[in-house]
Amino acid sequence: MHDETVTVLENRKVNAKYFKISFRSKHLASGVEPGQFVQIKVREGWDPFLRRPFSYYRIRGERIEILYEILGRGSELLSKLTKGDRLQVMGPLGRGFSREIRGKKRILVGGGVGVPPLVFLAERYGCDRFYIGTKSRHEVMPLSEIRKFHSRVFHTTQDGSYGVRGLVTGPLEVWFKKDDFDPEAYFIQTCGPTRMMERVMEIASHFGVEGEASWEERMACGVGVCLGCMVWTHYGWTCSCTEGPVFQFEETPPRETWAVR
């Protein structure tokens, strides 16, 4: 883990929803696995006090790219930075997605800000199918951002303006129901809204498909000190920032059971 000041190389919108910021760092780019993240101090001073977590989106040599959307004040401040501005960045943090999946074919299911780390995963290790869900065509990743890997990509939009109308889990379940589907041949890796990942896990459990999910809870410190990102697992409460954010499906019970622990 490293904590250093970097210089913004680029910060621009890639569509109606996403921004992409890039900077260069030998240490922050070294040994990174898809699914890991950085903690960014969006500006100098104490306001805002807490850093913001962002998944790695792409690494090209020492150049690091982060894809993000404006979700609050921190990300809004980040979006106003321009080339030459300085950032304090700590990383790489957390446990990423599994590289070795025992010879199985990789299925990726992403939604919202969960798509960027899966794009990183697909570019580095490949995948057989990539299911991407958004609310509308305005949020769909530009082709230039997803053309660097060879995979069958399936888009869904909730309003039907692009791809299949509905939730991203719909086409996934339809495919699983086919007579020639072999659950032993595939491994799912998912990241996105909580309810989406829960539904992916429900479908996977029903059909007997193994996989893992990235539980990106509120990570204030990123190093397991603040205990703000706790996830209930079969081993007890666990910091998602240090023991995750990626957990095997069998490690995490249904979220509705967490509150009674």
Same domain, residue pair 53 and 17 = yes
Same domain, residue pair 88 and 11 = yes
Same domain, residue pair 134 and 85 = no
| 242: Cα within 13 Å, side-chain hemisphere | 12
| Domain final residue, candidates 181, 197, 214 | 214
**Can you read off the two tokens belonging to residue 227?**
């205990």
pTM for this entry = 0.92
Q: Is the pLDDT of residue 205 over 70?
A: yes
Domain total for the chain?
A: 2
Question: How many other C-beta atoms lie within 10 A of the C-beta of residue 35?
Answer: 25
Same domain, residue pair 109 and 185 = yes
Q: What is the mean pLDDT of residues 168-189?
A: 95
Query: Which residue range is the domain that position 35 belongs to?
Result: 2-92
Same domain, residue pair 45 and 109 = no
Cα-flanking dihedrals φ and ψ of residue 200, to 5°? -60, -45
| pLDDT for position 257 | 61
Most confident range (mean pLDDT) of 50-54, 63-67, 232-236 is: 63-67
Least confident of 65-69, 94-98, 149-153, 179-183: 149-153
In the structure, what pLDDT confidence band is assigned to residue 259 with cuts at 50, 70 and 90?
A: low
What tens digit of pLDDT does each residue of 9-55 get? 999 998 888 899 999 999 999 999 999 999 999 877 666 777 889 99
| pLDDT for position 112 | 84
CA distance 116 to 145: 10
Q: What is the mean pLDDT of residues 176-182?
A: 93
In a domain, 141, yes or no: yes
In a domain, 109, yes or no: yes
Most confident range (mean pLDDT) of 43-57, 98-112, 229-243 is: 98-112
Same domain, residue pair 72 and 121 = no
| pLDDT for position 98 | 95
Same domain, residue pair 74 and 114 = no
Task: For the chain, give the mean pLDDT.
Answer: 90
Read off the CATH number of the domain in which 86 is found.
2.40.30.10
In a domain, 233, yes or no: no
CA distance 138 to 135: 8
Same domain, residue pair 72 and 112 = no
In the structure, what pLDDT confidence band is assigned to residue 258 with cuts at 50, 70 and 90?
A: low
